[in-house]
Structure 1
Amino acid sequence: MIPKLDEYKKKWEVESDQIIKPGLGAIRSALKKLNNPQEHLNIVHIAGTNGKGSTLTFLEQISKQHGLTVGKFMSPCIVDVHDQIQINGQAISEKELNSIFKQMKNANLSGMLTDFELLTCAAFLHFYQQEVDLVLLETGMGGREDSTNVVTPIVSIITSIALEHTRFLGPTIKSIASHKAGIIKEGRPIIIGKLPEEALYVVEQEAYEKHAPLIKLGDHFNIDCTNEFGDIYTNDENGLYINDLKRSLPGEHQGDNMALAITALFEVAKYFQLPVDIEKIREGVKHATLPGRFEQVYPNIYFDGAHNPASAIKLAETIRQQFPNEVIRFVIGMLADKDVKSVLRTFETVSEEFYFVDFMNERAMKAEDMLSLSNASSKQIVKDYIPFLQSCINRNGKTIVTGSLYLLAEIREALLNKY
C-alpha cells in the first residue's frame, strides 16, 4: 500500500492492482500509450538488496553540485506517494500529480497496471515534462522483471546482493543475482559493489554477454574509511585520488555506497562532457542525507530501515561504531514476509531491550508474533508508540526505531501530525 496513491486513483478513476506482478509486458504497453517518455530521459539505473537509496542520494547531491537538474524515483515512500518522485530534492506537488493522473486516465491506463507500475509511468511522464537533465531510477524489486527495467541507462549500478524476496526472486544468491543482473544493458557500463562470489560470477557473465564494461569496487576503484580526516577514494582506471571526503551518513557500508556514486558520476560526466570538480564531490558527499538511514529524528532517537539480515548486520556494526558504550533499545516492527528471526538475532547482539509495535500494512507481522520470536531478556509490546518515543528522548542511551521503512513512514507522519 502506497499512502495517498488511492486518493488519486479514486479521483481520476484509474484502477491498478496492489498485488506484485513481475514482468514488463503491461508497463511496456502502457508506456507506448504515453508515447514512451522514458526513451527521452538520461538515466542511471540502480539495483541491489541494500544500499540503493544511499547510493542514489550520494549521486543526487554530487550531480546537483555539478549543475545538473536531477529527478529521482525511489521506494518505498518517506511519508506518502509524493516523496517517491522528486526533482532536485522537491517532491512532486499535488497539482503536478493530478496533471499526470489526468494524462494517464486519458491514455486509458486504468486496469492495466499494478500500483508500482502506475507510479513508474507517472515518474517517467513527470521527468520528461519537466525536462530534467538526469534521472536516478531505483528498482522496486529485483531488476530483470521490475517495472523500471524498460530503460537504456547511461550506466547501471548493482550495490549489493543478498537473500531477499525469495518468493519472487528465487531461493538462492545465484537466482537473485540473475534478477539484479537483468538491468545490465548492451554496451552500457555496470558498476558493482562487493558481491558474494556466486553473485559476482552471474553478474560477470551477464556483463560479458552484453558487452558491458564492468567496473568493480575493490578492483577498479577503492574507498578507505580508516583516515580520521575523511575517507579516501581512489580510482586506478582514472588515476584519481580524492581525500578528505566527510560523509554525513555514518558506517563503513556508506563509504562503499559513496564510492559507487562517485564512480557513477564520472560515467555521467563523460556522457554530458562535464568537467569533474573534486571540491564539488566533497561538497555533495557532505550534504548527502537520507531519511531512515541512521537518521537522528529527536535527541537520542534514530530511524533506520534495516529490514533484512544483511541490512541488520550493517546497522549493528554502525551502532557498535557510533555508540560503543551506550545502552541501546530497539523499537521494531517488520513485514511478515521478511526473515524476522535472523534480523532479531543480529539486533540481539547489541541490545537486550526490545519494544515491538503494530503498524498499518497488510503484510505486517503482529507485534505479539515478533515478541514470541525474540530471545531478548527485556521485551514488551508498545501499543501507543508516540508517547513512548517522546519519553525516550530523556532516557539514558539510544533508541533505534527499525525493521520496516513502512513503519518509519507511519511513525514519521504521526510525529509530524502530533508535534
Structure 2
Amino acid sequence: MIPNFNSYKEKWNVQSDDVIKPGLTAIEEALARVGNPENKLQVVHLAGTNGKGSTLTFLESIAKEHGLRVGKFMSPCILDVHDQIQVEGQAITEAEMNQVFQQILAAGLSGKLTDFELLTVAAFLHFVASNVDIALIEAGMGGLLDSTNVVTPIVSIIPSIALEHTNFLGGTIESIAHHKAGIMKPYRPVIIGDLPLEAKNIVYQEASKKHSAVLELNHQFYVEQENDGESYEYNDNGFRITKLTRTMKGAHQADNMALAITAFLEVATTIELQVSKEAIQKAVKNATILGRFEEILPFIILDGAHNPASAEKLIETIKHEFPGEQITFVIGILADKAVKEILHQFEQISDCFCFVDFNNPRAMAAQKMLELSNASRKAVLEDYVQFLQQQSESKSRTIVSGSLYLLTEVRSRFKNS
C-alpha cells in the first residue's frame, strides 16, 4: 500500500489494484491513452538491489548544480506518496496530483492498472507538465517487467545485484541479474558497479545482444582515496576530478558517487552541456539522503538496510564511524526479507537488540524477530519513541534499521512529537 494514494483514488473514483503484477502490457496501453509522456523525457533509468537511491541523489545534485531542472521518481516513499514524485527537490503537491488524476480519469485508466503502474503514469505526466530537463527514474522491483521499463534512457545504471524479491525475480543471482539487465535499451550505454561475477556475465551478455556499451566501475572509470584519507579522485579515461568529499557516510558511497559522475558525463554529452568539475565537487559534497546513515537525534542513526547486502555495508560503516563503541539495534523488518540472515549479520557487532512492530501488512511481528535472534540481550519494544529519546539523552549509540517503511514511521512520529 502506498501511503495517502488511496485518498486521490477515492476522490477521483479511479480504481487500481494494490497487488504486484509484473509485466508491461497494461502500462504501455495506459501510457498510449495519455499521449506517451515517457517519450517526451530525457531519462536516466536505475535498477539494482542496493545503491539506487544514493546514486540517484548524487546524480540529482550534480545535475542541479549544472542548472538542470530535475525530476525524480523513487520508491518506496519517505513519508507518503507525494515524495515519490519530485521536481527540483520538491514533492508533488496536492493540486498537482489532482491535475494528474484529472488526466488519468479522462483517459479512462480506472481499473486497468496496479497502484504502482498508476503512480508511474502520474510521475511521467507530472514531469512533462513541469518541463523537466532530465528525469531520474528508479525501478520499483527488478527491472525487466517493472512498470518503469517503458522508457528509452540516455543511460541505464545498475549499482549492485544481490538476492532480493526471490518470489518474483527468482532464487538465483543469475535470474535476478536477468531482471536488472532488462532495463538496458539498444545502443544505449549501461553503467555498472561492482557486481558478482555471475551477475556481471548476464549483464555483458545482454549488452552484447543490444549493442550497448558497458561502463564498469574499476575498469572504464575509477575512484580512489587521496593521500589525505578524506577526499577522493575520480578518473574516467584521463578526465580527472580531485578533492571530492562526501557528506554521505560509508566507503560504498564513493562507488555510488563515481557511478553518478559517469552517468552525468553521458547525459552532458547527449544534451551538449558543458561539464564543470567545480560544480561536481560542490554537488557531491552537498548530496544527502534520508534513511542512509541519517542522524535523527544525537546518537540515534536511521539506516534502511533491508537485505543482507545492505546490512553488510551498514556494518562496515558502523565499524568505520564508531570503532569500539557499544551499539544498540532497534529493528523492524518485512517478513518477505532474509530476516534471519540480516539479524545474524548485525549480531556480529552487537548483542543488544530491541524489536518493534510497525504499520505495514508485510511486517514481521516483533515477537517473531525476537525468536529468530541469537542475541543474549533482546526485547520487544512497545514505545520506541520514548526509548530512542532516552538513548539519545544517555548518549547510547543506537541504530534503527531493517525496513525503509519503519524509518518512515519513526521519522513521522518524531516530527509529530
**TM category, shorter:** over 0.9
Kept in 1, the 8 Å contact 2:19–2:114? The answer is yes
Q: Does 1:338 align with 2:337?
A: yes
Alpha-carbon distance in structure 2 between the residues aligned to 1:218 and 1:91:
35
Alpha-carbon distance in structure 2 between the residues aligned to 1:226 and 1:277:
20
Q: Which moved more, 1:96-105 or 1:134-143?
A: 96-105
Alpha-carbon distance in structure 1 between the residues aligned to 2:266 and 2:349:
40
| TM-score normalised by structure 2 residue count | 0.99
Question: How far off is 1:110 after superposition?
Answer: 0.9
Kept in 2, the 8 Å contact 1:225–1:252? The answer is no
Alpha-carbon RMSD across the aligned residues, in angstroms, is 0.8
Q: Which moved more, 1:40-49 or 1:324-333?
A: 324-333
Alpha-carbon distance in structure 2 between the residues aligned to 1:380 and 1:231:
42
What is the SS of the residue equivalent to 1:297?
Answer: strand
Q: Does 1:283 align with 2:278?
A: no
Q: Does 1:185 align with 2:185?
A: yes
Question: How far off is 1:396 after superposition?
Answer: 3.5
Kept in 1, the 8 Å contact 2:161–2:177? The answer is yes
Q: Does 1:60 align with 2:68?
A: no
Alpha-carbon distance in structure 2 between the residues aligned to 1:240 and 1:232:
10
Alpha-carbon distance in structure 2 between the residues aligned to 1:394 and 1:311:
28
1:79 aligns with 79
Say how many residue pairs are matched: 416
1:326 aligns with 325
Kept in 2, the 8 Å contact 1:71–1:135? The answer is yes
- Superposed, which structure 2 residues align to 1:230-379 within 5 Å? 230-236=231-237, 239-379=238-378
Question: How far off is 1:226 after superposition?
Answer: 5.8
2:401 aligns with 402
Q: Does 1:34 align with 2:13?
A: no
Alpha-carbon distance in structure 1 between the residues aligned to 2:53 and 2:92:
18
Report the AA paired with residue 310 of structure 1. A
2:110 aligns with 110
Deviations 1:144-179 (A, max 9, x none): 000000010000000100000000000000000000
Deviations 1:363-384 (A, max 9, x none): 1000000000001111001111
Deviations 1:34-78 (A, max 9, x none): 110000000000000000000000000000001100000000001
Q: Which moved more, 1:103-112 or 1:193-202?
A: 103-112
Kept in 1, the 8 Å contact 2:353–2:377? The answer is yes
Kept in 2, the 8 Å contact 1:70–1:134? The answer is yes
Report the AA paired with residue 396 of structure 2. G
Report the AA paired with residue 253 of structure 1. H
1:204 aligns with 204
| TM-score normalised by structure 1 residue count | 0.98
Deviations 1:341-378 (A, max 9, x none): 11001111111111100011111000000000001111
Alpha-carbon distance in structure 1 between the residues aligned to 2:377 and 2:243:
42
Alpha-carbon distance in structure 1 between the residues aligned to 2:232 and 2:374:
37
Alpha-carbon distance in structure 1 between the residues aligned to 2:138 and 2:225:
26
Report the AA paired with residue 202 of structure 1. I
Kept in 2, the 8 Å contact 1:326–1:397? The answer is no
Deviations 1:81-100 (A, max 9, x none): 00000011110011101111
2:125 aligns with 125
Report the AA paired with residue 384 of structure 1. D
What is the SS of the residue equivalent to 2:241?
Answer: strand
Kept in 1, the 8 Å contact 2:298–2:395? The answer is no
Q: Does 1:164 align with 2:164?
A: yes
Alpha-carbon distance in structure 2 between the residues aligned to 1:350 and 1:235:
37
Alpha-carbon distance in structure 1 between the residues aligned to 2:374 and 2:226:
34
Report the AA paired with residue 315 of structure 1. L
What is the SS of the residue equivalent to 2:95?
Answer: helix
1:139 aligns with 139
Alpha-carbon distance in structure 2 between the residues aligned to 1:9 and 1:128:
21
Alpha-carbon distance in structure 1 between the residues aligned to 2:221 and 2:344:
34
Report the AA paired with residue 230 of structure 1. S
Question: How far off is 1:397 after superposition?
Answer: 3.1
Kept in 2, the 8 Å contact 1:16–1:111? The answer is yes
Deviations 1:196-216 (A, max 9, x none): 000000000000110011100
Alpha-carbon distance in structure 2 between the residues aligned to 1:17 and 1:387:
37
What is the SS of the residue equivalent to 1:183?
Answer: coil
Alpha-carbon distance in structure 2 between the residues aligned to 1:179 and 1:346:
27
Question: How far off is 1:225 after superposition?
Answer: 3.2
1:155 aligns with 155
Kept in 2, the 8 Å contact 1:60–1:70? The answer is yes
Give structure 2 stretches of 5+ with no counterpart. none
What is the SS of the residue equivalent to 1:393?
Answer: helix
Q: Which moved more, 1:407-416 or 1:285-294?
A: 407-416
Alpha-carbon distance in structure 2 between the residues aligned to 1:408 and 1:15:
29
Kept in 1, the 8 Å contact 2:177–2:199? The answer is yes
Report the AA paired with residue 145 of structure 1. L
Kept in 2, the 8 Å contact 1:57–1:289? The answer is yes
Deviations 1:183-241 (A, max 9, x none): 000000100000000000000000011001110001001111364240111112xx112
